[in-house]
Structure 1
Amino acid sequence: MDRRHASGSGLRKSALWLYHESGVRSVHLTGRDAWFVILARTCRMFAFGGASLIMALFFATLGFSDRQLGLFMTMTLAGDCVLSFALTFIADNIGRRRVFIGSGLLMAVSGLAFAYFENFWILLLAAVVGVISATGSDFGPFRAIEESVLSHLTTPETRPDVLSWYIVTSNLGSAAGIEVAGRVVEALKSRDGWSERRIYHAIFGIYVIMGVVNMGFALLMTDNCEITKPELSVDDGTQAAQGLLSESDEEMDGEMAPVSNEPPAPQKKSLFSGISMASMFVMYKLWFLLTVDSLADGMASYALTNYYLDRKFHLPKSQLGDYMSANYILGGISSVFAGPLARHLGLINTMVFTHLPSSVAVLLFPAPQGIVLTVILLLIRGGLNNMDQAPRAALIAAVVKPEERTAVMGITSTLRTLASTIGPSITGALADTDKFWVAFVTAGVLRVAYDLGLWVMFVNMKLHTHEEGGQDSSRSRRVDDEEDSVEMDPFKQEEEEHAR
């Protein structure tokens, strides 16, 4: 009996430890709004993944040229940048949930256009004005605002875990979307009356559904997702006026001095309205480093990596697909550990010491002459490459004011996207001169410089200074109390059972 009790106690302790270390507890304690945000992105990435698989094939069946396809990709990316940049600056004023609803509506309308129309200019307009992901990446207006919402809902202790699961589930959603779209296409091809063109139109029906689902999740979110700006109350104003009168009386030996009705001078702002100069000073350095990293990622993107492997080893396409699938799976699994590592090592150390081996793998990628070592370097890169994403979002949330997060994250996303678009052109020019390998060496050097620069500039920076004594700190105390109760309940139950 005692042995069974000890065994059960050990299992409960192990389950509690796993519940804590995996970050599931942090997501649970953050509340249902966090779940809605995470599920919304998972469903959206499901649609993005499926669309990325068929987009080029769909354009080919419509008879569009490669030049038109390139124009479409460029203009879609430009539209996403403009839309994301604009909405992140107004989201906190008009309401984050309203922006989510509007973005979901744009996603659904764009999907409808691709489901019914075949004219290039109509499709281009739908992609530029709406929300279409031609590459499977989340370049639209959603991500920056979602990361801002999650940063607002969490505490410095729970934030890395919640953002890590935000990354993990989105990777799984994208992988599932690619798999489902591929199987649906193959299944419908064998049925009478289903041409390739009709099948691709049908796939965009999933895109429409996921846009509506995103709107539904936004409607279910609560006011906790919105930013709350402190306002000067009547009592505070009265106390301030009394303080001014008291100081004036002391200085003038009891004589009544006139009290100015002019408001205090506003805090100096940067060119970006609503973002303080103190925050901008920090972000300028971080934006520079992130731009360097994004340029490197564009030069050695996974699409170009796939092309390099094909040119160097002439592998079957199915084998290339297996390597890249394994790469994405490892990236998704490793992201689970980003939150626990950030809790134990800190945000900067986690970002640098997980990303640096990945950068070295990119640098050495062209060196091996055999496929085995090359694939090992590919898997090292992919397995560790995504582990800095959640800590990066948590770092931005930690160095700027809560009311600045949405705008700052929007600017960050836009700058990273613009920088990444330059890389493929550089790599393409090098590939034409049979110096493809130089692109990976250059990208590796840039990534290593980003990692070392990040560590030097930010390792000793004091974080969360804007959350001390504010709303977030009170939320942190409430969550800490809940965490204590969650941790203690199983042990109290064990003691009561043992006493009985």
Structure 2
Amino acid sequence: MTTALSSTPPPSSLPPAQRLLHELGLISLWNTGPDSWLVLISRTTRMFAYGSNGIFIALFFSSLGFSDFRIGAFMTLTLLGDVILTVILTLIADRIGRRNILLFGSLMMVLSGFTFIYFENYWILLLASVVGIISATGGDFGPFRAIEESILSHTTAGSSKTRSDVLSWYVVTSALGSAVGTEISGKVVNWLSKKEGWTDVRAYHVMFWLYVLNGGIGAICVLLMSDKTELASSGSTKQLEDEERELEEQERLLEGEEGGGRLSTSTVEHIALTSSSNANTNTDVKPEGPTSSKWSSKFSQISPQTRAVMYKLWPLLAVDSLADGMVGYALTTYYLAQKFQLSNATLGDITSISYFLAAVSSIAAGPLANHLGLINTMVFTHVPSSTAVLLFPAPDSLALTIILFFIRTGLNNMDQAPRAAFIAAVVPSDELAAVNGITSTVRTLASTAGPTITGWLAGGEKFWIAYVAAGSLRLAYDFGLWALFVGMKLNQQGGRD
């Protein structure tokens, strides 16, 4: 049984080491219990596999003789497959069980890994990527992340600090997994390809065993999770009536929304109390009718006050994701290999260091969010990263190019945990899985066009344009986020304030 530790801010009289544990969020992480730990272990091992293969996926296809356009198209179609899986699985997650969705995803990851080990046909590999789980960019797309963030937000309901801390470590540990994966794979591929009778293609095939292994680890973690990760269902008539009255009152309050896209203080305070209450009761009181299994019905069950916020956030996330899709890490390593003729080992070292920097910076995301606010943390850390993307193709020097790459990746992940915490704070617990699923779908769908655009530009020797365009789009996202949400503050219970 987990020993409870105080999650309240430590008094100044406590020893510095204990105060540091509180500030870094490690006390919050400990208090959440084994379910949250298992989520972090599963994500970390998955990102180990994604990092080990994502860095080489474009080089792998290039070594098979596929054109740059086909490489970009592969990534686009893979992301489209992730969209379909995410839409279907996240919208039904709370009906058939979040753990069942994660278990299915882990098994599909194993199947996709076997396909990439034994086949080299473009269309077979494409099919395995579209219907299975393969990270074509090194990022965590597909159904996993939306469900896992819903579980973590669900298990940390009632405290915005705890939620922010845990989600920050969710990002930190995944970045560490990616860092270790890229470092090991870079060395292993470089070593295997130099062995007598070995080729780069054969070495790449070996690395896909990590998909199989880590898919199995993910399945074990899911089987060890408790029922607390699921959203309980209750058909209490009284609860339903109370919920309907609260929603009606919130709708009336939302009609008094202030100009400029900001909610009035009285409005958000009321919604904060309601959202916190919903999260703490851990019930789903929405009636199930004959059309409840349809996606449109599921979407319509998202409350008006939630949609009022998400309708502003989703377009911004789409812009950011389109930019990320154009200059994903897999395409960036491909760009570096083409421009500077770098070896696999060197690419692995560079990417691994960048992921370690991302992990270190992500540790600071929680404390920064607690002191500066979620939106401030998201914008202040993302703007330098976006600027680095914009300037990335400018230097002819490898050293300056790598510095820009480190700035980009080192700061890039610091907005992830605050963004997830922000969404969890404005979305009731029983709507969170659906909202996270739609959010993930919007982001993935927007990013699908990116690789094809970049592949077309790379084939025409205009690879650099992709970085200029992507950096500009990312900055537009940053400033738009600031303009629309800087006035929306959060209270300590995870709701709007």
TM-score bracket for the superposition, by shorter chain length: 0.7 to 0.9
SS of corresponding position for 1:140: coil
Matching residue of 1:495: none
Matching residue of 2:30: 28
Q: Aligned in 2, Cα 1:466/1:171: closer, same or farther, shift over 3 Å?
A: closer
Q: Among 317, 322, 328, which residue is 1:295 paired with?
A: 322
The answer to whether structure 1 residue 211 and structure 2 residue 215 are counterparts is: yes
Give how far 1:200 is off: 4.3
Matching residue of 1:455: 482
For 2:198 and 2:308, locate their aligned partners in 1 and report how far apart those are by CA, in whole Å: 57
Once superposed, what is the RMSD of the aligned Cα atoms?
3.7
8 A Cα contact 1:270 1:277, kept in partner: no
Q: How does 1:91-240 map to 2 (within 5 A)?
A: 91-154=93-156, 155-188=159-192, 199-232=203-236
Give how far 1:40 is off: 0.2
* CA deviation profile, 1:354-407 (whole Å, cap 9, x unmatched): 112222333444566665555444333322221101101111111111111111
Q: Aligned in 2, Cα 1:192/1:380: closer, same or farther, shift over 3 Å?
A: closer
For 1:433 and 1:55, locate their aligned partners in 2 and report how far apart those are by CA, in whole Å: 21
8 A Cα contact 1:297 1:443, kept in partner: yes
AA partner of residue 418 (structure 1): L
* CA deviation profile, 1:454-483 (whole Å, cap 9, x unmatched): 1221122254699679xxxxxxxxxxxxxx
SS of corresponding position for 2:150: helix
Q: Among 52, 55, 60, which residue is 2:54 paired with?
A: 52
AA partner of residue 340 (structure 1): P
Structure 1's unaligned 5+ residue stretches are 1-9, 241-262, 470-500
Q: Aligned in 2, Cα 1:298/1:236: closer, same or farther, shift over 3 Å?
A: closer
* CA deviation profile, 1:334-370 (whole Å, cap 9, x unmatched): 0110011111111111111111222233344456666
SS of corresponding position for 2:160: coil
For 1:270 and 1:235, locate their aligned partners in 2 and report how far apart those are by CA, in whole Å: 20
8 A Cα contact 2:76 2:451, kept in partner: no
Structure 2's unaligned 5+ residue stretches are 1-11, 245-285, 290-295
Q: How does 1:91-490 map to 2 (within 5 A)?
A: 91-154=93-156, 155-188=159-192, 199-232=203-236, 272-303=299-330, 305=332, 314=340, 316-317=342-343, 322-365=349-392, 373-427=400-454, 438-463=465-490
Give how far 1:118 is off: 4.6
Matching residue of 1:496: none
8 A Cα contact 1:400 1:466, kept in partner: no
AA partner of residue 400 (structure 1): V
8 A Cα contact 1:401 1:466, kept in partner: no
For 1:109 and 1:451, locate their aligned partners in 2 and report how far apart those are by CA, in whole Å: 38
Give how far 1:186 is off: 4.7
For 2:424 and 2:415, locate their aligned partners in 1 and report how far apart those are by CA, in whole Å: 14
For 2:221 and 2:388, locate their aligned partners in 1 and report how far apart those are by CA, in whole Å: 39
8 A Cα contact 1:229 1:403, kept in partner: no
8 A Cα contact 2:72 2:454, kept in partner: no
Give how far 1:326 is off: 3.4
The answer to whether structure 1 residue 16 and structure 2 residue 46 are counterparts is: no
For 1:275 and 1:362, locate their aligned partners in 2 and report how far apart those are by CA, in whole Å: 35
- Deviates further, 322-331 or 173-182: 322-331
What is the TM-score when the length of structure 1 is the normalising length? 0.75
- Deviates further, 381-390 or 292-301: 292-301
For 2:469 and 2:201, locate their aligned partners in 1 and report how far apart those are by CA, in whole Å: 41
- Deviates further, 135-144 or 114-123: 114-123
Q: Aligned in 2, Cα 1:401/1:374: closer, same or farther, shift over 3 Å?
A: same
* CA deviation profile, 1:396-428 (whole Å, cap 9, x unmatched): 111111111111111111211222233344456
AA partner of residue 380 (structure 1): I
- Deviates further, 316-325 or 119-128: 316-325
* CA deviation profile, 1:90-127 (whole Å, cap 9, x unmatched): 00111101111111111112223333445544433332
For 2:67 and 2:451, locate their aligned partners in 1 and report how far apart those are by CA, in whole Å: 20
AA partner of residue 90 (structure 1): I
Matching residue of 1:3: none
For 2:364 and 2:105, locate their aligned partners in 1 and report how far apart those are by CA, in whole Å: 31
State the number of aligned residues.
433
- Which structure has the larger Rg over C-alpha atoms? 1
SS of corresponding position for 2:439: helix
For 2:457 and 2:240, locate their aligned partners in 1 and report how far apart those are by CA, in whole Å: 64
* CA deviation profile, 1:59-103 (whole Å, cap 9, x unmatched): 566666666545543332221110011100000111101111111
Q: Aligned in 2, Cα 1:196/1:138: closer, same or farther, shift over 3 Å?
A: same
- Deviates further, 379-388 or 148-157: 379-388
8 A Cα contact 2:137 2:328, kept in partner: no
* CA deviation profile, 1:201-233 (whole Å, cap 9, x unmatched): 443333212111111101111111111344316
Tell me the percent identity. Answer: 57
8 A Cα contact 2:82 2:444, kept in partner: no
8 A Cα contact 1:62 1:197, kept in partner: yes
